[in-house]
Chains A and B, each alone.
Chain A
Amino acid sequence: MSTRLAKGGRLLDKGRALNFTFNGKRLRGHPGDTLASALLANDQMLVGRSFKYHRPRGIVASGAEEPNALVGLGEGARFEPNQRATTTELFDGLTCISQNHWPSLDYDIGAVNTAFARFLPAGFYYKTFIHPRPFWKHVYEPFIRQSAGLGKAPNPGDPDRYEHFYAFCDVLVIGGGVAGLQAALAAAEAGARVMLIEQTAHWGGRAPVDGGEVGGQPTEEWIEATVAKLRDMPNVTLRLRCMGAGVYDHGYALGYERVSDHAPEADAPRHRLWRIRAGQIVTATGAIERPLSFAGNDVPGVMLASAVRDYAVNYGVSAGDRTVVVTNNDDAYRTAITLKQLGLEVPVILDARASGGGALADEARALGIRVENGKAIAKVKGSKRVEGVAICAQAGEGAVLEELKCDAIAMSGGWSPVVHLWSHCGGKLIWDSAQAHFRPDPANPPRGAKGEGFVSAAGAANGASDLAGVLTDADAAGKAAAKAVGHKPKTTAAPKGSQSVEAPMQAVWLMPQGAGIRLRMKSWLDYQNDVKVSDVQLAAREGYESVEHAKRYTTLGMATDQGKLSNINGLAILSDALNQPIPQTGTTTFRPPYTPISLSAIAGSARGEIFQPIRKTPIHDWHEDNGAHFEPVGQWRRPYCFPKGEESHRDAVNREINQTRARLGLLDASTLGKIIVKGPDAGKFLDMLYTNMMSTLKPGKCRYGLMCNENGFLVDDGVVARIDEDTFLCHTTTGGAESIHGHMEDWLQCEWWDWKVYTANVTEQYAQIAVVGPKARETLAKLTTDDLSNEALPFMGWADITLAGMPVRVYRISFSGELSYEIAVAASLGRALWDALLEAGAEHGVTPYGTEGLHVMRAEKGFIMIGDETDGTVIPQDLNMQWAISKKKDDYLGKRAQERSHMTDPNRWKLVGLETLDGSVLPDGAYATAAGHNANGQRNTQGRVTSTYFSPTLGRGIAMGLVHDGPDRIGEVIEFPKVDGGVVKTKIVDPVFYDKDGEKQNV
């Protein structure tokens, strides 16, 4: 059984106990424990179930590479599925549950899949579940989905905080082991601004577990001293619990800091995402031990040798009383030695190498441990936990030589550098056949903005194998990185680490070498996704030969650990099956993040109301206080209407329109785009921009204009006012302000750069209020001594006046068909002007109206709306707006495009008014049918509705639409089918429904 030892536990505070629960069972651990170490300390060997066969799963590793020990952590709105126990620090009151089983972890119905495993090989679902057709959606898929998945879905309402930090540094060192510390020190001593991040809660990485000396000091002391030194340097930032999650282009990197996962009561954000921009990045991310592929290597109790050692040394936990060690390299001997020294039994070390190990092997033997060279595991005994091993010759086919009882197995298949971060942004790898691993190819690093290599690897991540090599390599990497960003590294030598004389490892991809199919079907590669050696071999046999095919066909490496343990073993098996060298097979693509990061951290603090920037007009607060029903328009929020009491939105809109047409309405038009165009060539420029002639506009006058893109399509409209000889003010649609301004600048700077024109987007500098209705002039007159008579300020004129004591600009323009003044005032005075207008208009029952009232009134008047009558495919000619297209101009943007055959086609649909025969409101977006079907069997159409409203003014539905030959068919009745059946008979009419002669607006 696994248990807590009296000795060991360098990371623990054994004086204090922490309570936690696993599947409701109350358990105890110590500060310093991970959830995994605490579970092992309580002999909780079985921690979950695998994805496909629901096999019992135990803890395999001690770090980020763990594939099995995933739990549902926390409760309620804080519940989080798939939390890795090996990287979860224990805290008092932690609650967790195991996953992927029913009804319980110990007795899982799904485990029946194991019995049928033979019938469920890789990709079986591609070959089955084909008939009968409806069964996939309704029977097979629901079953598969239910048994797949891992943890339960979380709940809404995450109460925790998340934030983003920005950091800029010369050198970012990822990984705070010995290599990272030395690289950071070397770079910092050169004067570089250094940031060093480490994913765990401790500096030093694995080195303290492995022992050894640095510069004559015990490693642990050197680590402490180095951290202290770095902490004192003003140019160094140190961050624990901060994982290098991803490396992106041009030196961008993501740090994922788990600020308070380990201390949920702390008044701190839970996670913090660091957006780091670094000149150089050093990945000192260490290496990960590989499992060995033997039958039953997935039984709980089979663990990585390094993990067994970590648990013993760091947490004082033994994986078992009798641990068999199986290896192809010397490092695993350290585990055997450590266990023996802690008083635990190691019945045998099975070394697959015929020639055996080096000095460490001698040391093990000296401690009395039995060492068997050239031996292997034929099979593991036990199902929910290890009960023993059957031993065989590595060179054979698995004939059992001996059986031994044991309750844990420590395996080591060699070490693979963590090359993920190196690879994220295009760094290439080379195959090192001596170590049997891929490591970074220094000749092909990720390249930055200037084509420079901006990532280097250091230490074990670069393939260095012992402490001495790691320190030398890291020191060089730190110095080189500092130099690359313009600093002068010191010439001091790297500290000397103790060297170990190790016998060469020997690649062992299958154990035993000649394992038959029955053993290969029980030799796991990917523990979480249940991919076995036989599955990869099957994929190769069936022609899924590319490493990507094999991965996707078998799901190897696609689990939450992204193949940290399984990928190399899998592609070695694949290469063997294809009879090609491993480098020719290559790897799958490494993608960020290194380990999964929370979506909340990615979102940061931009949640809820502020998840996108929000734009408010100066009058916004009034709208809010007066019950506005808002609609989002881009990032603006505009009042749709102002319902009173229990009034429906429809009724509110009708009231607003009736009141405006009868007496007086107010509209907050501040969101309208306002762009100043100024300079000697401003008129010439606007002549190119608009289809109309703008250069002939007289100062003091306004003109409605249309803007097309170079493709000929109508993109924006608005009123242009000429302020003086050199200056125009262009109104754009609300949505168009920024893009039209950019569009203007594009043409000015990239095409007509010798034209003397400046533009400025002053949209937010002004509030704009439309005072609309028969009482508009009367109301304004109360607030000014300036002359607003029709003679002094006629329709389509503007004037600067003083209104309610404020300097304002009044445009006599109308989008409603009423007598109307749009008043622009400095944004800071917007609310004051609004209040003054409300007060002055009170005697006329002044009624603020919203966007819907605006829309209905413009439709009654037959005015087009960009986005309704236009949709990116409509040209001004479709809207019968030839009057707005100057015939005197040789050129304007879009003119050439409009000469193309489809744009001059007489069959284009044209704008008309539409009146239902029964007075009803036509459905939005309805199409008018024509006879017959097209070549694809679709019903032919002859027109469509572009705007449709109930007109309170006319007491009936009105609409506008584009209809084939429309203007020539006035009076004709066409049919619009409804989606729920039936048709609406509709008469084609003139689009101006209200005040055709303009008698209301021109008074």
Chain B
Amino acid sequence: MLILTCPCCGVTGEETEFHQGGEAHLKRFGPGSSDDDFHTYMFAKENPKGAHFERWRHNNGCGKWFIAARDTVTLEVYGTYPAQTHEPPQHIRDAITARRPGWTWREFA
């Protein structure tokens, strides 16, 4: 039973208040994109054993979507941040590096 903090309303709540909605920092490929790009966008999942970036929604709370950096092996939450960004903030990356030096996730490290 995870605990997450919603960066939008500041509430720290039980997992049951939230809903995971898939990978974060997706780059959308629409009409006109190549088959490979579209396939990568839709299906090529990171699914790491370690730090993962994912979209969550505070659906039984303020309703906002946000991004959590979470470890899929230890379940440690490195941090949460609003979804309106193209990359994880530095302090989140640092928190991951502290535990998992040399980590990478898609183009981030």
Physical contact A–B (CB less than 8 Å): yes
- Show the binding face of A for B, using Cβ within 8 Å: 248-252, 277, 447-451, 710-711, 738, 742, 745-746, 749-751, 753, 890-891, 895-897, 899-900
- Pick the contact of A749: B19, B35, B64, B76 (CB < 8 A): B64
- Pick the contact of B1: A252, A711, A891, A897 (CB < 8 A): A252
Asked if B3 is at the interface of the complex by the 8 Å CB criterion, the answer is: yes
Whether A750 lies near B55 (C-beta < 8 A) is yes
Asked if B75 is at the interface of the complex by the 8 Å CB criterion, the answer is: yes
Whether B74 lies near A447 (C-beta < 8 A) is yes
B39 → chain A, closest Cβ, in Å? 9
- Show the binding face of B for A, using Cβ within 8 Å: 1-3, 14, 19, 21, 24, 26, 28-33, 35, 38, 42, 55, 57, 59, 63-65, 74-77, 83-84, 99
Bound state CA distance, A843 and B38, in angstroms? Answer: 60
Bound state CA distance, A24 and B96, in angstroms? Answer: 65
Contact A449 to B57, CB < 8 A, known contacts A711-B42, A896-B30 = no
Contact A896 to B31, CB < 8 A, known contacts A745-B63, A750-B83 = yes
Given the complex, which residues of B lie within 8 Å of A450, measured CB to CB?
A: 76-77
16 interchain pairs, CB-CB under 8 A: A249-B2, A250-B1, A250-B75, A251-B3, A447-B75, A449-B75, A450-B77, A451-B74, A711-B42, A745-B64, A749-B83, A750-B26, A750-B83, A751-B28, A896-B31, A899-B31
Bound state CA distance, A258 and B3, in angstroms? Answer: 28
Given the complex, which residues of B lie within 8 Å of A899, measured CB to CB?
A: 31
Bound state CA distance, A890 and B42, in angstroms? Answer: 19
Bound state CA distance, A745 and B58, in angstroms? Answer: 11
B80 → chain A, closest Cβ, in Å? 11
Bound state CA distance, A973 and B42, in angstroms? Answer: 41
Given the complex, which residues of B lie within 8 Å of A746, measured CB to CB?
A: 21, 55, 57, 65
Given the complex, which residues of A lie within 8 Å of B83, measured CB to CB?
A: 749-750, 753
Bound state CA distance, A890 and B28, in angstroms? Answer: 14
- Pick the contact of A896: B3, B26, B29, B75 (CB < 8 A): B29
Given the complex, which residues of B lie within 8 Å of A277, measured CB to CB?
A: 3, 14
Whether B1 lies near A249 (C-beta < 8 A) is yes
Bound state CA distance, A750 and B38, in angstroms? Answer: 18
Given the complex, which residues of A lie within 8 Å of B24, measured CB to CB?
A: 750
Contact A248 to B31, CB < 8 A, known contacts A745-B63, A749-B84, A750-B83 = no
Whether B76 lies near A451 (C-beta < 8 A) is yes
Given the complex, which residues of A lie within 8 Å of B31, measured CB to CB?
A: 890-891, 895-896, 899
Given the complex, which residues of A lie within 8 Å of B64, measured CB to CB?
A: 745, 749
Given the complex, which residues of B lie within 8 Å of A250, measured CB to CB?
A: 1-3, 75
Given the complex, which residues of A lie within 8 Å of B35, measured CB to CB?
A: 900
Whether B75 lies near A249 (C-beta < 8 A) is yes
B2 → chain A, closest Cβ, in Å? 6
Which residue of chain A has its CB nearest to the CB of B24? A750
Bound state CA distance, A449 and B28, in angstroms? Answer: 31
The 5 A-B pairs at the shortest CB distance, nearest first, are namely: A252-B1, A753-B84, A749-B65, A451-B76, A750-B83
Given the complex, which residues of A lie within 8 Å of B26, measured CB to CB?
A: 750-751
Whether B42 lies near A897 (C-beta < 8 A) is yes
Whether A449 lies near B2 (C-beta < 8 A) is yes
Contact A710 to B42, CB < 8 A, known contacts A447-B74, A742-B19, A891-B30 = yes
A170 → chain B, closest Cβ, in Å? 15
Whether A897 lies near B38 (C-beta < 8 A) is yes
Which residue of chain A has its CB nearest to the CB of B77? A449
Given the complex, which residues of B lie within 8 Å of A750, measured CB to CB?
A: 24, 26, 55, 65, 83
A58 → chain B, closest Cβ, in Å? 40
Which residue of chain B has its CB nearest to the CB of A452? B76
Bound state CA distance, A745 and B61, in angstroms? Answer: 14
Other 8 A-B pairs with CB < 8 A, given A451-B76, A750-B55:
A248-B1, A249-B2, A251-B3, A448-B76, A450-B77, A749-B64, A890-B31, A896-B29
Bound state CA distance, A746 and B74, in angstroms? Answer: 27
Whether B30 lies near A742 (C-beta < 8 A) is no
Given the complex, which residues of A lie within 8 Å of B30, measured CB to CB?
A: 890-891, 895-896
Bound state CA distance, A711 and B63, in angstroms? Answer: 24
Given the complex, which residues of B lie within 8 Å of A896, measured CB to CB?
A: 29-33, 38
Bound state CA distance, A251 and B21, in angstroms? Answer: 24
Given the complex, which residues of A lie within 8 Å of B38, measured CB to CB?
A: 896-897, 900
Bound state CA distance, A250 and B71, in angstroms? Answer: 13
Given the complex, which residues of A lie within 8 Å of B59, measured CB to CB?
A: 738, 742
User: Which among A277, A447, A451 has the greatest number of chain B C-beta atoms within 10 A?
Assistant: A451
A454 → chain B, closest Cβ, in Å? 11
Given the complex, which residues of B lie within 8 Å of A738, measured CB to CB?
A: 59
Given the complex, which residues of B lie within 8 Å of A895, measured CB to CB?
A: 30-31
Bound state CA distance, A175 and B38, in angstroms? Answer: 56
Which residue of chain B has its CB nearest to the CB of A891? B30
Given the complex, which residues of B lie within 8 Å of A251, measured CB to CB?
A: 3
Whether B76 lies near A447 (C-beta < 8 A) is yes
Which residue of chain B has its CB nearest to the CB of A889? B31
Given the complex, which residues of B lie within 8 Å of A753, measured CB to CB?
A: 83-84
Which residue of chain A has its CB nearest to the CB of B82? A749
Given the complex, which residues of B lie within 8 Å of A249, measured CB to CB?
A: 1-2, 75
B68 → chain A, closest Cβ, in Å? 11
Whether A449 lies near B33 (C-beta < 8 A) is no
Given the complex, which residues of B lie within 8 Å of A751, measured CB to CB?
A: 26, 28
Contact A449 to B65, CB < 8 A, known contacts A711-B42, A750-B55, A896-B29 = no
Bound state CA distance, A251 and B31, in angstroms? Answer: 46
Given the complex, which residues of A lie within 8 Å of B55, measured CB to CB?
A: 746, 750
Given the complex, which residues of A lie within 8 Å of B42, measured CB to CB?
A: 710-711, 897
B98 → chain A, closest Cβ, in Å? 9
Which residue of chain B has its CB nearest to the CB of A901? B35
Which residue of chain B has its CB nearest to the CB of A895? B31
Given the complex, which residues of A lie within 8 Å of B32, measured CB to CB?
A: 896
Bound state CA distance, A751 and B32, in angstroms? Answer: 18
Which residue of chain A has its CB nearest to the CB of B22? A746
B105 → chain A, closest Cβ, in Å? 17
Which residue of chain B has its CB nearest to the CB of A448? B76
Which residue of chain A has its CB nearest to the CB of B99? A451
Bound state CA distance, A890 and B33, in angstroms? Answer: 12
Which residue of chain A has its CB nearest to the CB of B12? A449
Given the complex, which residues of A lie within 8 Å of B21, measured CB to CB?
A: 742, 746
Bound state CA distance, A745 and B33, in angstroms? Answer: 24
Which residue of chain A has its CB nearest to the CB of B78? A451
Bound state CA distance, A729 and B57, in angstroms? Answer: 23
Given the complex, which residues of B lie within 8 Å of A749, measured CB to CB?
A: 64-65, 83-84
User: Which among B3, B35, B64, B84 has the greatest number of chain A C-beta atoms within 10 A?
Assistant: B3
Given the complex, which residues of A lie within 8 Å of B1, measured CB to CB?
A: 248-250, 252
Given the complex, which residues of B lie within 8 Å of A447, measured CB to CB?
A: 74-76
B67 → chain A, closest Cβ, in Å? 8
Bound state CA distance, A832 and B30, in angstroms? Answer: 48
User: Which among B19, B42, B55 has the greatest number of chain A C-beta atoms within 10 A?
Assistant: B42
